Amino acid sequence: MTLHLLVLIAALNQALHTGGRVAVALTTISLNASPLVIGTITALYGLLPMALALPLGKLTDRIGPRVPMYAGTLFFIAGGLMPSYAPSLPTLYLAAALIGMGNMTFQLSIQNAVGRIGGREDLTRNFSSLAIGMSAGAIIGPLITGYAIDYTGYESAFIFLTLLPFAALVLLSTLDLGLTPAAGANARGKTRTLDLLANRGLVAIYIITFIHVLSWELYTFLMPLHGSQIGLSASTIGILMGAFSAASFTMRVLLPPLAKRFDHWQLIKGMLMLAGVIFVALPLTGDTLFLVLLSALIGGCLGAAQPLTMTLIHDNSPPGRIGESLGVRTTVVSSCQFVLPLVFGGLGTLLGLVPVFWLAAAAICGGIAAARTGK
């Protein structure tokens, strides 16, 4: 029961996170902002998490995940409400920072919690279930955003999205989820985070995480821009983002039997390599159906990688330091979320979007080919 409730709460918050990012991007575009300005706003999703993920991961080990989950949900609500009053560049900057902080705080804590349900043999199933819930939220969020913008306006889109983390907050406030500190976290003595980097398994996971986030950020940042440039409506862009999330959802449903049959590392590397190849084709078409197909293929590839990396982190983390290991991973993720939109935005302003798609695709494929992971 605890796992199912956590998955539901994750889905509600993820709808705000994914839909809010689309709403912020489309609102910024409606204000005639340049790709560089859009990249600067997008970078704020990763600024605070980049600095705070590691200490928060250690804190989650010590006090348990319940309070950080509550705080993350409140950040989501604040970030969603901010642009609903006055959609402008200052409020969009603030919304991006708050939503990014909410996502980091909530994800660190819920990943820690889900990883401690059952035994090691349950990790892939647990994280697949969590990822399925997040995918469901990621489908709902962009669809709400697109149709709300087209039919009721930008302000109401943020209001509709914020209702979902409000529901998550009610669940967190009224239910006993049995979330406690990690075993051994308070008695482990002095440890150094750098010690984790001596763990070859964790280092390999962090490298793969960088490539995975590069792929994810490339799609979520550039797809709304590309869609707007070729004249797609907000609802159509929402459908594209929803197709991405729906395929991610489907792949995560199919993942447990695949993970039993194939090596985790080979699955991750194969999926990311395929995503890099697909990115080459994305900017070459303006056909909506083809874009939906490509979005779904990329979503399926990237959706499979995230729960597998979560499983590998829990398998390779020292006892009582899972939150800290996740904090290092989140620092990598947040650093990418901060830096990559600035790079993509700057290059998009200078070169246009097509070269940015291709450069990033080359980086993804090259990084996977050079990676030395697994057995």
Burial of residue 58, with CB atoms counted within 10 A of its CB: 0-12 exposed, 13-18 middle, 19 or more buried: middle
Q: Is 231 exposed, middle or buried (0-12, 13-18, 19+ CB in 10 A)?
A: exposed
What is the reported pLDDT for 182?
A: 57
CA distance 29 to 275: 26
User: Into which CATH architecture does domain 2-178+196-370 fall?
Assistant: Up-down Bundle (1.20)
Instruction: Give pLDDT, residue 127.
Output: 80
The pLDDT tens digits of the residues spanning 11-24 come to 999 999 989 988 99
pLDDT of residue 375: 42
Q: What is the pLDDT of residue 187?
A: 47
pLDDT for 179: 65
- CB of 89 closer than 8 Å to CB of 164: no
- Residue 1: its pLDDT value, please? 57
- Cα 314 off chain centre by: 18
Q: List the chain residues with pLDDT less than 70.
A: 1, 120-121, 177-199, 319-320, 337, 370-375
Q: So where are the chain's domains?
A: 2-178+196-370
Q: 3-state SS of the chain?
A: CHHHHHHHHHHHHHHHHHHHHHHHHHHHHHCCCCHHHHHHHHHHHHHHHHHHHHHHHHHHHHHCCHHHHHHHHHHHHHHHHHHHHCCCHHHHHHHHHHHHHHHHHHHHHHHHHHHCCCCHHHHHHHHHHHHHHHHHHHHHHHHHHHHHHHHCCHHHHHHHHHHHHHHHHHHHHHCCCCCCCCCCCCCCCCCCHHHHHHCHHHHHHHHHHHHHHHHHHHHHHHHHHHHHHCCCCHHHHHHHHHHHHHHHHHHHHHHHHHHHHCCHHHHHHHHHHHHHHHHHHHHHCCCHHHHHHHHHHHHHHHHHHHHHHHHHHHHHCCCCCHHHHHHHHHHHHHHHHHHHHHHHHHHHHHHCHHHHHHHHHHHHHHHHHHCCCCC
CA atoms of 177 and 119, how far apart (whole Å): 18
User: Cα dist. 72→90, 102, 168, 211, 327 in Å?
Assistant: 22, 4, 11, 25, 15
248-273: buried (b, 16+ CB within 10 Å) or exposed (e) per residue?
bbbbbeebbeebeeeebbebbbbbbb
Distance from C-alpha of 134 to C-alpha of 146, rounded to nearest angstrom:
19
User: Would the pTM count as exceeding 0.75?
Assistant: no
CB 334 within 8 A of CB 282: no
